[in-house]
A = this chain, B = another copy of it.
């Protein structure tokens, strides 16, 4: 169970609604943890029932009422305990690499096209991370605490996306464009 931890971590900075979280999980946090909105709402309910979160209905002008969740002291404790415990290894699941492995039953040009298509997503991600870094942390040497951690995770994102792009380029040189 670690989506709950990702949610708690995301809410440390400031209270957010389930909808906000879902969007965040499509952006910055989404690099190292994915979740759909359904999952998020479910997990929010669980976390609130454990008193790790508190939800407050913040009425806003005319729009439907959003529920803003913030982390309780118990939630902070819980997260801190988890963070101190040893980490498992990273999980990666990538269709395209399985397809590489099965190249004998597919067309190489088809695989090449899929890689090229995905390359676009990774490029977009990289741009997002780079912009966020430039905007939020123009001066990395002065960072401490929360900012430092988020800077580091963005750097990891940049490195990952860059290596993916490099690999895609390597693959597209090797794989034929037409069969």
Interface size on A, residues (CB 8 A): 68
Type the 1/0 row for A131-162, where 1 means its CB is closer than 8 Å to any CB of B.
00000000010010110111011011001101
- How many copies, total? 2
Partner of A149, one of B10, B29, B102, B146: B102
The DSSP consensus for interface residues of chain A is helix
Output the nearest chain B residue to A110 by Cβ-Cβ distance: B84
Q: Are B98 and A33 in contact (CB under 8 A)?
A: yes
Stretch at the interface among A14-22, A36-44, A51-59, A113-121: A113-121
Type the 1/0 row for A57-101, where 1 means its CB is closer than 8 Å to any CB of B.
000000000000000000010011001101111111111111111
- Residues from chain B with Cβ under 8 Å of A94 in the complex: 32-33, 90-91, 156
**Cβ-closest 3 pairs across A and B:** A103-B149, A32-B97, A9-B102
